[in-house]
Amino acid sequence: MTKSFEARKKLILKLLSEKSYTPMKEKELAIFLQVRKEEREELKEVLQTLLSEGSAVITKRGRYKLPETTRFTGVYRASRQGYGFIEVEGENEDFHVEEGASLNAFDGDTVEAEFDGTVNGKLREAVVTAVLHRAHETVVGTFEKSANRYGFVIPDNKRLGRDIFIPLERSMDAGDGQKVVCEILDFGSERRSPDGRISEILGYPDEPGIDVLSVIRVYGLPDEFPEKVINQAEKVAETVSPADMEGRRDLRDKLMVTIDSEDAKDLDDAVSLEKDGETYILGVHISDVANYVQERSALDKEALKRGTSVYLADRVIPMLPERLSNGICSLNEKTDRLTLSCIMRIDKNGEITDHEIIESVIRTDRRMTYTAVNEILSNRDQWERYKSGLETDPALSRLFDEYRELIPMFFEMGELAVILRERRKKRGSVDFDIPECKLELDEDGYPVNITPYDRNAATKLIEDFMLAANETVAEHYFWLKYPFVYRTHDDPDPDKMKKLAAFINGFGYSLRIKGDEIHPKELQKLLVKCEDTPEEGIISRLALRSMQRAKYDTACTGHFGLACRYYCHFTSPIRRYPDLQIHRIIKDDIRKRLTEDRLTHYEELLPSVCLQSSARERAADEAEREVDKLKKAEYMRSKAGEVYEGVISGLNSYGMYVELPNTVEGFVHVNRMDDYYSYNEESYELVGDRTGKTYVLGQRIRVRVDRVDMERRIIDFAPA
């Protein structure tokens, strides 16, 4: 740059900074600064340089001014490479934070930041100005002992990026290489390490259960109940008394069942079905947990703190103590139990024409499993042979003998489930059939098998009935205008939907997007079209990732994925706090206790319940995914050298992700391939520079297990 160029830059910046300055166009600036015609080109270059540097901005009308600094609050997300991003609620795009501009914020911290209009490529550059709230008071990691009188805790969460300095007098005599929990005393600075003390020694990484325990501590999941909570649970009666039943409708003579997995212990929903001509009378009966967990009690406070039960590979961390969740609150077979019942009259087209929500007492006839009910629903022709006395498969004959009095109801339930599903399908409900996995562990917690979870006719039946009850309860209380907790799912981000549309176009599919809006029916049609194709899994996952995250809210804004206006969570109060919360409101309504004071109480309480429940649900989901990744990596570590056939589930410039039939996903790096491959972003394929060979999403490929990085939980494949 010439001296005149730099001088002119300073002159223009000084002008733009003056309080009396009114934004001008390029021509106006030239006249004001008395720039000669032969120097106009240099002025244009100066202005372009100021724009590219972010030192100036141009308005829609072409006038130049200084960028306006915007101050905002958000959540800082660190990368392993040193830079980070700030997530801001309501913003579709995150703000980028360069390395050194984070003010020593840790991953997950709530920060205040400034944006002065600087845009680098497509990234909006922000600078952290204050750390408002620390997300981590403790860190889980590995203790590394120094020869001197100190050591360091290396965090398991690599996004934290900073090792914690531990003087030996604050080390609890932890051994070198042990997993520990470290309390952070001082978060340090850009140049100085954080300082802490060890508060718990978990054990050595190869000891049984330490891997999962480390994840539990990372996500702050409370795995033990306080003594006060246990004592309160012990005082709860083990049986239902006649006094408990007063004022409730007695449904103990109704034929009803629970349908759950074989290993389920907390049975919180039962179903019944009768027919009145062509009308189905469906009863969904939910455990009345609120009868035993009183508001503001120690049990209630602990349940809200936990927010949800967490289902990890080798254990369950329940929301409520076992005495309640597996005892008086569980709808055990042939046992009197207190419930809230949503009884719906449904016509042959699946429309709910009438309903009532009542306090009830039930006694389930049988504890059914998804496996048994699915076997019954799948063999209606054999049932007809059995009834006629004709020869039937011996195993089926034994099944029919055992459940003979219930089977006609199961077939009617199957019919109704199909009707309800078809009705939802017509309105555009999106069914993401993403394969989940079942991990089988030995007594030491080591994975011995991984299989896809079977989503069959019985599991879908229960889903259909629970959805019907949840929608009915939500609509009922929406129109009463009482404070309530809804389950909401916002419309997808338009930019992500457009990217999805561009991606699927390469497979011959399309999405109709009107302006910035898409109807859920469009996504549903896409998923139906790609069903049973090689690309089904990847398209389903990308569609799901393009959507917003469901949350709890006091405003009933609808549920995009289910294509419904009213939705809540009513059916699982043993394992979800929002369900327990709305049960209290429902019971107050039924018993005419919703006074003005009580309504005001709920209006003030529910926003914090929604925030806490959404946050704990997210932590539980992340912990469950982390344990699944951990156990999958551990399982595949013993399969080194073995060859599998999988499907390409992702591509980038570094290589490709391959998913195996057992849901395990690994990565094939381009360095391990037979050619140098370039990634074509437009066609979403890897193309060999020398061979011209291509790899595309959904393509089947044979891979060999190369190596497993247990610390990062990454599985590396090589082409076989």
Q: Which residue has the higher pLDDT, 436 or 349?
A: 349
H helix runs in 506-562, sequence order: 520-529, 536-545
The whole-number pLDDT of residue 97 equals 94
Q: Which residue has the higher pLDDT, 475 or 18?
A: 475
What is the per-residue DSSP string for 360-383? Answer: EEEE-SEEEEHHHHHHHHTTHHHH
- The CA distances from residue 166 to 104, 174, 185, in Å, are 19, 11, 10
Domain ranges of the chain: 3-65, 70-133, 138-205, 227-488+556-625, 494-547, 639-719
Helix (H, G, I), strand (E, B) or coil at 703: strand
Percent of the chain, pLDDT > 90? 66
* Residue corresponding to tokens 């959404």: 614
* Residue corresponding to tokens 């802490």: 196
User: pTM, whole model, 2 decimals?
Assistant: 0.85
Model confidence pLDDT, tens digit, residues 685-720: 899 999 999 998 888 899 999 999 998 889 999 998
What angle, rounded to 10 degrees, do the helices at 596-637 and 210-218 form? Answer: 140
* Residue corresponding to tokens 């369900």: 579
Model confidence pLDDT, tens digit, residues 577-604: 999 999 999 999 999 999 999 999 999 9
The whole-number pLDDT of residue 125 equals 86
Helix (H, G, I), strand (E, B) or coil at 484: coil
Model confidence pLDDT, tens digit, residues 131-152: 999 999 999 999 999 888 899 9
The whole-number pLDDT of residue 18 equals 84
* In the predicted structure, residue 404 carries a pLDDT above the cut 80: yes
CB atoms within 10 A of CB 653: 11
Q: Which CATH number fits domain 70-133: 3.40.50.300, 1.20.210.10, 1.10.10.410, 2.40.50.140?
A: 2.40.50.140
Backbone dihedral angles phi then psi of residue 255, each to the nearest 5 degrees? -75, 120
How, if at all, do strands 249-250 and 352-363 pair? parallel
Pick the closest to residue 520 from 484, 555, 558 (CA basis). 558
Could you tell me if 238 and 327 are in contact, meaning their C-beta atoms sit under 8 angstroms apart?
yes
Please, what sign has the CA dihedral across residues 367, 369, 373, 375?
negative
Terminal Cα distance for the chain, rounded: 55
The whole-number pLDDT of residue 641 equals 95
Model confidence pLDDT, tens digit, residues 284-295: 999 999 999 999
Amino acid of residue 223: D
Pick the closest to residue 560 from 461, 437, 430 (CA basis). 430
Count the helices and strands in the chain (H runs, E runs). Answer: 18, 33
Distance between CA atoms of 96 and 54, rounded to whole angstroms? 14
CA angle 7, 11, 12 (to 5 degrees): 120
The whole-number pLDDT of residue 148 equals 82
The whole-number pLDDT of residue 2 equals 63
Mean per-residue pLDDT of the chain: 92
- Categorize the per-residue pLDDT at 433 as very low, low, confident or very high, splitting at 50, 70 and 90: low
204: Cβ contacts below 8 Å, ≥ 6 apart: 175, 177, 178, 179, 210
Distance between CA atoms of 429 and 562, rounded to whole angstroms? 4
Distance between CA atoms of 556 and 357, rounded to whole angstroms? 19
* In the predicted structure, residue 1 carries a pLDDT above the cut 60: no
Fold agreement between 70-133 and 639-719: yes
CATH 2.40.50.140 describes domain 639-719: yes
Distance between CA atoms of 255 and 375, rounded to whole angstroms? 20
- The CA distances from residue 412 to 282, 284, 408, in Å, are 10, 15, 6
Pick the closest to residue 323 from 251, 233, 387, 391 (CA basis). 233
Pick the closest to residue 213 from 265, 178, 166, 187 (CA basis). 178
Look at the domain 3-65 and name its fold. Answer: Arc Repressor Mutant, subunit A (1.10.10)
Distance between CA atoms of 113 and 361, rounded to whole angstroms? 55
Model confidence pLDDT, tens digit, residues 290-330: 999 999 999 999 999 999 999 999 899 999 999 999 999 99
Pick the closest to residue 210 from 301, 140, 107 (CA basis). 140
* Residue corresponding to tokens 């805790």: 153
Pick the closest to residue 173 from 155, 140, 149 (CA basis). 149
Could you tell me if 212 and 439 are in contact, meaning their C-beta atoms sit under 8 angstroms apart?
no
Longest dimension (CA), the chain: 107
519: Cβ contacts below 8 Å, ≥ 6 apart: 428, 563
* Kind and range of the H or E run holding 256: strand 256-260
Please, what sign has the CA dihedral across residues 233, 238, 242, 248?
positive
- Categorize the per-residue pLDDT at 38 as very low, low, confident or very high, splitting at 50, 70 and 90: confident
Look at the domain 138-205 and name its fold. Answer: OB fold (Dihydrolipoamide Acetyltransferase, E2P) (2.40.50)
- State both tokens at 61: 């009308």
The whole-number pLDDT of residue 525 equals 87
Rg of the Cα atoms in the chain: 30
* In the predicted structure, residue 60 carries a pLDDT above the cut 80: no
Model confidence pLDDT, tens digit, residues 477-532: 999 999 999 999 988 888 888 888 888 887 788 888 887 788 888 888 888 888 87
